Structure 1
Amino acid sequence: MLSSIVRALPRLNISGSYLTVQSARTFFTPAHFGIDSFKNYASNIERDQGKNASSLKVTIEEAVSKPDGKIFTEDLKTLLYLSKSDSDLDLLVNAIRKYQKQESTAIFGFNFETPLIRLLYSLNKTDRALALFLDENDSVLKRFYTAGTILMNKLLEEKRYEDSIKVVNKMINKFKQDKKSDPNSRLRTMDITNLATEALLGINNADALSHAKKMLIDFKELNLEIHDNAYIKLILLAHNQNQIDFAYELTSLIKNKNQNIINNLKFLSLIRLDRIDDAIQIAEDTNKIVLERGIENRLFFKETLAVLVDLAGKLEGEKKDRVQDLVTTIKQEKKLIDLSLNDYALRLREDRKQNQQNQQRQQGQPMDRQRQQNQRDQQRQQGQQSRQRQNRTQREENSRED
């Protein structure tokens, strides 16, 4: 009986009506990686020093061509911000190569790798950035962890999932080498795991899931922190490849999400595992959750409701009544989350808090004075941090260390 019910329930296929990747991926905006700040600073350089661009390029061309020519740090910085054409980029890359070989670079060396990738990102020169990154014989990108992460984001914007995996594979292999020489080496970012799993979800086939399992082992061996949203994307991928046992196991690794999020993921897996009773119980438990004050008590994803509706039409007796009660409560008490699971996994990171506040204002929800004060304090702190980040970017002192 239960097996026949499960076979008749909707499958969570990415090409079906329940999970979809048709919406634009937006988990990381360009601003998250300093692209907007880079463009703003480049505009300032263009305004202040653009009139001297031609003479600067001639000076650097001569320095590159002469064996004893000297590339100065400030000149190279200015050239980077003024570069636009392919010929500008040729000169810039050759100048960086020579700069890196200068004896004084050990003292005055500036990290041109990350600004270079930001430049290519802003100019939409993705192929050139990828070629530089993957070229094993080119030393332009010596320190490339931050540069690689930025490049992955650009590739994902362009839905170049396979190329994005090439980039993360090179980063993982390089980090393995670094760990051998320095076991205390660490990568202090979860961006890599988020971007890598997004690429795998975009590829969405059996090979992608196999690669995901290997990558999880690498992440753990290298002590890379894995973001909860990365696990969610892998759960969706496992569902799409009908490896439900693996999807269900992954739910136990999510640590920092509200319990209702975890319960939704468990519910969808339990249904596919023919564990109808357990699934109904966890849905009922989810229905009892009360989120923090000031936030609407939206508890269920669209996919969960769709499965519950189908389930109610196929069950009989007391179980049917329980499921039907859940469906009615979710609809009448507005407990439906206004996102699909896929959109939740890829939603815009930077704007989460602001979007929540805007939604509350639009809905006229009251907030107590302490909560309002906390939000004002948070906004002031975020404003200070934003100004500090902008200043660091303008000096091109990267906020992320390789």
Structure 2
Amino acid sequence: MSLIANYLTRTSVYSNLRLILPSRTIYVTQVTNLYSPHALGIDGFLQTRKKAKEQFTNYSEKFRSKMNEFVSSKDTMIFTEDLKNMLHLAEPTDLNLILNMIKKFNSQNSELRFGSYVFGPVVMRMFHFLDAPKEALACFYDPKNDGFFDQLVSYHILLDLLYSHEMYDEMYKVFERAQNKQINMTKFPKYCVVMVLAACYKQNTPKSLEYASKLWSDMASAGTVPVRRACTFFAALALKQGAPHIAMESVSSQRQHYVTIRNIKVMALADMGRVEDTLPILRSVLDIDSPTQRDRHTFFEETMDRVQKAAEKGGNKDVLKQFEDIRKALKDRGLIDGSKTIDLLLNTEIEKPQPGQLPGGQQQFQYKRVQLGPRKKRIV
């Protein structure tokens, strides 16, 4: 199951694992998600799941049997509480039942449903938790569920699940659907844009750069300003694809004090043969008084090597000498970081502080970045 192992190491919610996963064998494999469980609201889902497990300790199998009877009968209804409980009790063997419950619930006369609970995000968190991308897509695209997932956070969670399975082509299709729906009257939902540009970066092909460039151009025409992680994914892809001019332009609106932006600018200038223009950027951090290691404005070793190579290729001895002097000064002050790379920072997990809570578990997202080790997933 996606996210569980990493989550267990960071919270005490699962102090008694048997309450949540009784009699199950768990195998651990590697998985990479872009957003943390907290950022996707999955930590809250797991807390509710724990309570549901405790509440239904001696009743869960009987409840499942009853729900199977309800979905097969024309004379019964699936109530909001039925679906909520089943979602939080769900095991992989329950997925077919849940798919049928969702279809029946969504097809019931809306006049008979008086609650304002928003199911889309909760359902997607369940799919993410159970690591079930195929079932998530089947549910998402089912015509009988039209409108059920019309929340940007539902798209966001689904895209992250697909990303963890390297289902990049499917991500483009989901993103296109989000654009066509224009939920909340936006054609370029910012965190979905981050996800789809992350997919472009991972694919790292001329076609993915073409896709990203068109998306970027469309956003610019609409006056949409992408968030920083979107900028860095696009710029880093352009660097990998030998288009430093695109990389340079894409980060032009970003503040240089961010480590990714600063390093991308220097790399792009070096790749364009403009080594002399990198020197003021490299020299600028020497004038910053940063008392703590965390606040130091650093450059990556890979960035410095890139400039070195470009300087040697350019053949200007004076420029090469200036660069070497700056590199020595940076090294003496501990401002060259050999432990990080652009790729490493782009693949760090996106976290967020305490979110605002919307109806049905929908989250308001505010993100900060934290660097974590490789994430684990658990499979039954």
Q: Please tell me the TM-score bracket, short chain as reference.
A: 0.7 to 0.9
Report deviation, 1:93.
2.1
What corresponds to 1:97 in structure 2? Answer: 103
Report deviation, 1:290.
4.2
The DSSP-based 3-state class of the residue aligned with 1:51 is coil
1:50 paired residue among 53, 57, 60:
57
What corresponds to 2:154 in structure 1? Answer: 147
Q: Amino acid of the residue matched to residue 236 of structure 1?
A: A
1:38–1:118 CA contact under 8 A, matched in 2: yes
Change (3 A) 1:131 1:72: closer
1:231–1:253 CA contact under 8 A, matched in 2: no
Aligned counterparts, 1:81-160, within 5 A: 81-86=88-93, 88-100=94-106, 101-136=108-143, 138-139=145-146, 141-160=148-167
What corresponds to 1:349 in structure 2? Answer: 350
Q: Deviation string for 1:87-120 (max 9, x for gaps)?
A: x222222222222223345522532221111111
TM-score (norm 1): 0.73
Q: Deviation string for 1:71-102 (max 9, x for gaps)?
A: 2211221122122143x222222222222223
Report deviation, 1:220.
4.7
Q: Distance in 1 between matches of 2:221 and 2:104?
A: 37
Q: Distance in 1 between matches of 2:82 and 2:57?
A: 13
Comparing 66-75 and 214-223, the one that deviates more: 214-223
What corresponds to 2:300 in structure 1? Answer: 301
Change (3 A) 1:217 1:306: same
Change (3 A) 1:218 1:69: farther
The DSSP-based 3-state class of the residue aligned with 2:139 is helix
Q: Distance in 2 between matches of 1:214 and 1:221?
A: 10
Matched, 1:284 2:283: yes
Q: Distance in 2 between matches of 1:311 and 1:28?
A: 36
Report deviation, 1:145.
2.5
Report deviation, 1:199.
0.5
2:200–2:208 CA contact under 8 A, matched in 1: yes
Q: 5+ residue gaps in structure 2?
A: 1-29, 366-380
Change (3 A) 1:308 1:400: closer
What corresponds to 1:18 in structure 2? Answer: none
Q: Distance in 1 between matches of 2:299 and 2:196?
A: 27
1:61 paired residue among 38, 63, 68:
68
Report deviation, 1:150.
0.5
Q: Distance in 1 between matches of 2:223 and 2:114?
A: 32
Q: Distance in 1 between matches of 2:147 and 2:69?
A: 20
Comparing 37-46 and 284-293, the one that deviates more: 284-293
Q: Distance in 1 between matches of 2:333 and 2:244?
A: 31
What corresponds to 2:185 in structure 1? Answer: 185
Report deviation, 1:300.
1.0
Q: CA RMSD in A?
A: 3.1
Q: Distance in 2 between matches of 1:35 and 1:291?
A: 37
Q: Amino acid of the residue matched to residue 344 of structure 2?
A: D
Q: Distance in 1 between matches of 2:137 and 2:92?
A: 17
**Structure with more strand by fraction:** 2
What corresponds to 2:362 in structure 1? Answer: 398
Q: Deviation string for 1:203-240 (max 9, x for gaps)?
A: 11111011112222444566655111111111111111
1:248–1:269 CA contact under 8 A, matched in 2: yes
Change (3 A) 1:38 1:188: farther
Number of residue pairs the alignment of both structures matches: 333
TM-score (norm 2): 0.76
1:161–1:199 CA contact under 8 A, matched in 2: yes
Change (3 A) 1:135 1:102: closer
Q: Distance in 2 between matches of 1:146 and 1:218?
A: 22
Q: Amino acid of the residue matched to residue 215 of structure 2?
A: M
Identity %: 22
The DSSP-based 3-state class of the residue aligned with 2:299 is coil
Q: Distance in 2 between matches of 1:197 and 1:346?
A: 12
The DSSP-based 3-state class of the residue aligned with 1:252 is coil
Matched, 1:320 2:320: yes
Q: Amino acid of the residue matched to residue 363 of structure 2?
A: S
2:179 paired residue among 172, 175, 179:
172
Report deviation, 1:291.
4.8
Larger RCO (CA within 8 A; separation ≥ 6): 2
Report deviation, 1:320.
2.4
1:229–1:345 CA contact under 8 A, matched in 2: yes
Change (3 A) 1:223 1:64: farther
Report deviation, 1:31.
2.8
Q: Deviation string for 1:115-173 (max 9, x for gaps)?
A: 11111111111111122223456437342422221011112222222222222122122
Name which one, 1 or 2, has greater alpha-carbon Rg.
1
1:72 paired residue among 79, 101, 104:
79
Report deviation, 1:332.
1.4
Comparing 217-226 and 149-158, the one that deviates more: 217-226
Change (3 A) 1:198 1:150: same
Q: Deviation string for 1:178-218 (max 9, x for gaps)?
A: 5xxxxx72489632122111100001111101111222244
1:53–1:79 CA contact under 8 A, matched in 2: no
Q: 5+ residue gaps in structure 1?
A: 1-22, 179-183, 352-381
Q: Distance in 2 between matches of 1:397 and 1:54?
A: 26
Q: Distance in 2 between matches of 1:350 and 1:293?
A: 23
What corresponds to 1:364 in structure 2? Answer: none
Matched, 1:339 2:303: no
Change (3 A) 1:24 1:299: farther
Comparing 263-272 and 207-216, the one that deviates more: 263-272
What corresponds to 2:269 in structure 1? Answer: 270
1:267–1:304 CA contact under 8 A, matched in 2: yes
